[in-house]
Structure 1
């Protein structure tokens, strides 16, 4: 008889950047030099607390309280959680922020809403309904908006409620000198603000 396998809420301390590889959805394919997973792991592990480019986004003294690589957040519908590259609890001044961090080098943000929501199943409708509600959207965003940015931002809001933080943030930690895919992020931020 098979036992039900459940997810644990116990996290093992990191032994360095290579510890992050085990948490990837596809460890062999995603752990490559020059790609976001490995680049992000090395950057965050080598920082003394928050990487400077992230710390500069916050006012006052800033402190990384907790960082969880490849943190999964359950969403309605579908059979996959939103797997965030990093979930961080960040203290700045007298406030706390729940932040999901999406690392990017040159990889795209995945399918557009139009591609992901074409001929949607009931599960996808349920998920889109939840995402639109969390993001205070009255309707499904335009088809060119990247779906990944929606569910990563929703993850930050869900975790902010769960941890009762003062703020939530979805941060794209880009390592692209050419600012690849910035336009997709800007379109999402403009549409969902």
Structure 2
């Protein structure tokens, strides 16, 4: 069903504040918003220099084992870029919008509050999808569960749409960059150094090139 305005996103939203802000930022765009495009260009990665947005789906669900609820991406974007071999390539992008919220509970707290076999199965699946299942519990316990879900979603959607590239994109409207420290810790697991308003990577995961991005959103779209 085509969207006729940001209000159409309302019935899909889970976190009304950040996702409503993201809706107003994205709704009138037939391409990537200016702040995202600027971050792409400033990253110096050829794949992201001339990207074309092919499809954008708000609140796109990705089924995961070990529970009844799917992982819900704020926006799923299928884009097209040009590789260093001058060939067109698809890019699967899982977008997470944030204003002043963190990335939810850590893995340690999630498992402590919900020590079910289903949740343990899901966490193990996410770790395996990202090829970090061999990390010790001490190394993963402080990770934010939501970051794990979003990065795995990018990979799973890349596989679903036969895209060689995946991107976990954090679109943050926080003036203090809330959550960046958690993001920084997460991407370091893949041997990468986090940068603001940049795309970093790739890390090769399960045959896909996985990129990460933290984009500072334009505060004019804040809805509170």
The answer to whether TM tops 0.5 is yes
Structure 2 counterpart of 1:187 = 185
Aligned-CA RMSD value: 1.5
Aligned equivalents of 2:94 and 2:185: distance in 1? 19
Q: Which runs of 5+ in 1 are unaligned?
A: 1-11
Match of 2:58 among 66, 69, 79: 69
Q: Look up the SS of the partner of 2:58 in the other structure.
A: strand
Q: How does 1:1-193 map to 2 (within 5 A)?
A: 12-25=1-14, 30-31=15-16, 35-56=17-38, 57=40, 59-93=48-82, 94-118=88-112, 120-137=115-132, 138-139=134-135, 140=137, 141-193=139-191
Secondary structure of the structure 1 residue equivalent to 2:176:
coil
Q: Is the 8 A contact 1:135 1:192 kept in 2?
A: no
> Matched residue of 2:140: which SS?
coil
Structure 2, unmatched stretches of 5+, are 41-46, 83-87, 192-224
Match of 1:3 in 2: none
- How far apart are the structure 1 equivalents of 2:31 and 2:140? 38
Cα distance between partner residues in 2 of 1:189 and 1:60: 22
Map of 1:4 onto structure 2: none
**Offset at 1:192?**
4.2
- 2:80–2:89 Cα contact (<8 Å) kept: yes
**Contact 1:71–1:84 (8 Å) recurs in 2:** yes
Partners of 1:124 and 1:145 in 2: how far apart? Answer: 15
Displacement of 1:46 in angstroms is 2.8
Partner of 1:9: none
1:148-191, Cα deviation, whole Å (9 max, x unpaired)? 00011111111100000120111100111111111011111112
Q: Deviations over 1:32-87 (max 9, x none)?
A: xxx21111000011334111222342533211100000011000101211011000
Higher strand share: 2
TM-score, with structure 2 as normaliser: 0.74
Rounded Cα–Cα distance in structure 1 between residues aligned with 2:64 and 2:190: 19
Cα separation, partners in 2 of 1:17 and 1:46, compared to 1, 3 Å: same
- 1:154 and 1:143 map into 2 onto residues whose CA distance is 17
